[in-house]
Structure 1
């Protein structure tokens, strides 16, 4: 019996300092979130969960309405904390710092979260979902970093190179036999 996880990376969201939790989607992001709904509405999804961050919830909200399902949020599915509020990462340094975090699982900026720490808080939620909803189809509203780190726990091939190729939004269908990842299919073609 297979359990299917649909990792739904959030659509485009304009960055606003200090609004990590509450920032929504751009006009383009809203449009593409409707495409996410169209793509997934016939997949037979049983459960929808999400990061508590507004952009992740907004990306799966239309799907939840279409399927008449609630969205259950999990705090530990939030995006990685890149740095503390008092540590400023200049735009031109951001992706280099993220690459450093992927290269060294223990590396973290002041007040930030290492890849290992992020993975250790998010993977137990995914494992819980696999156990609780065995044989079901679960959509997860998520973020690029935490999605990649959860996937890399089951297959180390999901790394920095994978992360930089992902889009906003993006959708990956993960099929599990128990807790063993057996297949990943990218559904988003945008």
Structure 2
């Protein structure tokens, strides 16, 4: 059985690709490393965004595993226009995966990027892979394997969050991994 731990990055200072983790986010990243202490992680693939890299850096150093950056895991661009009603527009893209807003990427296009990364990980020789990405992309990946995962489930994701994808005999199941970070 192959396992992929899909991790949403820890709390960050903003949305740009260069936004770092907050002080709390750095603490969360260290606690994530401790959480994965008993998991034999062989491969780490991450979005090239600073907050995603910083989320997994303590774990990579602890395990002495190289971080692979993959631009297919970058945050989805909903639109290049300022959208005061962006939340409603985002909901619409979950209901209509082909909907593409001005300068943006449809849910279908974004999902194809991350699904390609996940499927590649399942086909690799590694048993346990971690993929670090962003909330919207994570939700689209989970929706690919479980059509019940939609906008409302996306809205309930936390920073950080972890879902485990298990692949066995060409069937992929998902489950949310609950863990407690100290406050």
Instruction: Give me the TM-score of the superposition, normalised by structure 1.
Output: 0.89
Q: Which residue of 2 aligns with 1:111?
A: 103
Unaligned stretches of 5+ in structure 2?
none
Task: Report the RMSD for the aligned CA atoms in angstroms.
Answer: 1.5
For residue 49 of structure 1, the aligned residue among 45, 64, 68 is: 45
Q: Quote the offset at 1:178 in angstroms.
A: 4.5
Q: Which residue of 2 aligns with 1:141?
A: 132
Instruction: Give me the TM-score of the superposition, normalised by structure 2.
Output: 0.92
> In structure 2, the residue corresponding to 1:98 is in which secondary structure?
helix
Kept after mapping to 2: 8 A contact 1:10/1:168: yes
Q: Which residue of 1 aligns with 2:117?
A: 125
Q: Which residue of 2 aligns with 1:175?
A: 166
> In the superposition, relative to structure 1, how do residues 96 and 58 fare at CA in structure 2: closer, same or farther (>3 Å)?
same
Unaligned stretches of 5+ in structure 1?
none
Residues 70-128 of structure 1, C-alpha deviations (whole Å, 9 max, x = no match): 000111111111212xx1123xx232222121121122221011101101122111111
1:1-190 maps to which residues of 2 (within 5 A)? 2-15=1-14, 20-84=16-80, 87-90=81-84, 93-133=85-125, 136-190=127-181
Kept after mapping to 2: 8 A contact 1:3/1:178: no
In structure 1, what is the Cα distance between the partners aligned to 2:47 and 2:115?
13
